Copies of this chain bind each other. A is one copy, B any other.
């Protein structure tokens, strides 16, 4: 008998059953979103070149540390100037390596309808990562558990605003640290059938992540298709650590996507200056991007960066700040210069409750990324309290913002322009368009119609219980989770996946970490 955890038998290898197709019909997220706007630019072409040259000078003269034996050996073999862990790179070698990267690639999953391109002219959304706490369905802030993570994945699967599951959207703090990655990947693979973020912190976790992906998708399929991403954070200023580089190698060797993200806390680990901050983070990114191509020429990779400025009062990272919006604009300009897709942080807030601050900061971040034509809108769901909380209500609100932002990003269609001008002629001065045939035919596509944002009159809103956005979103999250159905998975595959987790748990002592 099949229970609701595995309703339909599917073959591995990414071919869809009829039921899977029906499941996916609920979500119009599958296609690639193409930018139709021309991005904001925050620097001139000449200033961009100045930043690029400054980055090259940093790598050539100061150099960068790869605190990793394998990387040091590889750089030496490639002919770089290596002294201890310090690697000095000349611009020509650097740019030659980077030129080997594909500027566009496809991601998919065991559901072939989940298929999209990541490229310098496309937009993709992924759920947040890394919160040790949730603000739960009752609005209570507490340490997150595996059941919370499963709920986040259920929401991700059901909400059309996401293309990529966050993986470790929140930490399952009820599971011993050295076992967590197993349960995180298990949930990504079982609760969703989407491309997802695996774990990259160290060789073992990364290899386990890849192995689990391969159980579900098949190794042969993954050798040909990217279904997972690995988030590789830099250690600014100018350090890449072994832990992350091991993760990088495991992902790249399995033909999966890596994201190389310098981690900028402006004025703390970069200079208190915007263009110099960019020059430094760009140097860090370029070094890691080049290294990735050294490991595997043609590896699929995304120019990353996580940037916030830091409060000089409290030392806390500040969300939604103008400097980060400017940094985004320039990173976009640089990434396009290098012909690489890039990521931003789409929705971030420092608010301690899902209030107006959370909305302001998140929307600034959304528009910051979209107006700069970011290709991966990361953390686009749930991020509050500077990433220390995954807010379930906010996750639902953000999912709708994702749809709204992707409508903006796609720009303006002139397909119906001439017909619409006929309507202007037909209606004439002083008329109205509400009953016009063109309006009836087109309004659904022409204008975005939100469900979470509320447009009732004050009186109607009061009659409906005076619910603020947080309340409405919690209710919506509950009803989505209640209606959730697990995507189909071959029971044999599921068994193999469960067995892998059990076996690795036995092998790994829970007290290692």
Q: Is the CB of A360 within 8 A of B401?
A: yes
The answer to whether the Cβ of A270 comes within 8 Å of any Cβ in the partner chain is yes
CB proximity of A28 to chain B, nearest CB, Å: 16
Contact pick for A273, options B272, B366, B442, B466, CB 8 Å: B442
Contact pick for A266, options B276, B314, B366, B447, CB 8 Å: B447
The answer to whether the Cβ of A79 comes within 8 Å of any Cβ in the partner chain is no
Among residues of B, the one whose C-beta sits closest to the C-beta of A365 is B363
The answer to whether the Cβ of A481 comes within 8 Å of any Cβ in the partner chain is no
Among residues of B, the one whose C-beta sits closest to the C-beta of A315 is B434
| A353 to B318 alpha-carbon distance, docked (Å) | 25
The answer to whether the Cβ of A408 comes within 8 Å of any Cβ in the partner chain is yes
Among residues of B, the one whose C-beta sits closest to the C-beta of A400 is B360
The answer to whether the Cβ of A450 comes within 8 Å of any Cβ in the partner chain is yes
| A261 to B371 alpha-carbon distance, docked (Å) | 25
Q: Which of A212-220, A242-250, A413-421, A499-507 contacts B (4 or more CB under 8 A)?
A: A413-421
Q: Is the CB of A237 within 8 A of B429?
A: yes
| A447 to B308 alpha-carbon distance, docked (Å) | 10
Q: Is the CB of B446 within 8 A of A323?
A: yes
Proximity string of chain A (197-229) to chain B, C-beta cutoff 8 Å, 1 when within and 0 when not: 000000000000000000000000000000000
Total identical chains: 2
The answer to whether the Cβ of A37 comes within 8 Å of any Cβ in the partner chain is yes
Q: Is the CB of A65 within 8 A of B429?
A: yes
Given contacts A271-B439, A411-B42, contact A321 B448 (CB under 8 A): yes
> A448 contacts which chain B residues (CB < 8 A)?
309, 321-323
Q: Is the CB of B404 within 8 A of A450?
A: no
The answer to whether the Cβ of A41 comes within 8 Å of any Cβ in the partner chain is yes
CB proximity of A448 to chain B, nearest CB, Å: 5
Q: Which of A101-109, A298-306, A454-462 contacts B (4 or more CB under 8 A)?
A: A454-462
Q: Is the CB of A309 within 8 A of B355?
A: no
| A61 to B361 alpha-carbon distance, docked (Å) | 46
> A452 contacts which chain B residues (CB < 8 A)?
357
The answer to whether the Cβ of A239 comes within 8 Å of any Cβ in the partner chain is yes
Contact pick for A318, options B323, B350, B362, B455, CB 8 Å: B455
The answer to whether the Cβ of A86 comes within 8 Å of any Cβ in the partner chain is yes
> A389 contacts which chain B residues (CB < 8 A)?
458
The answer to whether the Cβ of A7 comes within 8 Å of any Cβ in the partner chain is no
The answer to whether the Cβ of A484 comes within 8 Å of any Cβ in the partner chain is no
The answer to whether the Cβ of A130 comes within 8 Å of any Cβ in the partner chain is no
Contact pick for A237, options B36, B430, B442, CB 8 Å: B430
Contact pick for A353, options B86, B276, B310, B468, CB 8 Å: B468
CB proximity of A437 to chain B, nearest CB, Å: 10
Proximity string of chain A (340-373) to chain B, C-beta cutoff 8 Å, 1 when within and 0 when not: 0000000000111111111111111011100100
Q: Is the CB of B446 within 8 A of A329?
A: no
Given contacts A269-B433, A432-B268, contact A352 B321 (CB under 8 A): no
Contact pick for A434, options B267, B317, B318, CB 8 Å: B267
The answer to whether the Cβ of A311 comes within 8 Å of any Cβ in the partner chain is yes
The answer to whether the Cβ of A320 comes within 8 Å of any Cβ in the partner chain is yes
Q: Is the CB of B414 within 8 A of A50?
A: yes
| A269 to B326 alpha-carbon distance, docked (Å) | 37
Q: Is the CB of B353 within 8 A of A404?
A: no
Among residues of B, the one whose C-beta sits closest to the C-beta of A414 is B275
The answer to whether the Cβ of A274 comes within 8 Å of any Cβ in the partner chain is yes
> A62 contacts which chain B residues (CB < 8 A)?
424-425, 428-429
The answer to whether the Cβ of A438 comes within 8 Å of any Cβ in the partner chain is yes
The answer to whether the Cβ of A449 comes within 8 Å of any Cβ in the partner chain is yes
Given contacts A355-B468, A449-B312, A455-B313, contact A424 B329 (CB under 8 A): no
- Residue with the greatest number of chain B CB neighbours at <10 A, chosen from A325, A356, A427: A356
In the A-B complex, the 9 residue pairs with the closest CB atoms: A359-B359, A276-B420, A367-B367, A363-B363, A273-B420, A322-B408, A238-B429, A356-B359, A359-B360
A sample of 11 inter-chain contacts (CB < 8 A) reads A62-B425, A237-B424, A238-B429, A269-B432, A271-B423, A309-B448, A312-B443, A322-B408, A326-B412, A357-B452, A360-B397
Q: A37-B329, A57-B421, A361-B363 are in contact. List 15 more A-B contacts (CB 8 A).
A: A43-B411, A141-B458, A237-B432, A270-B433, A273-B438, A276-B421, A279-B421, A311-B449, A312-B443, A314-B456, A314-B457, A322-B404, A351-B454, A356-B470, A358-B359
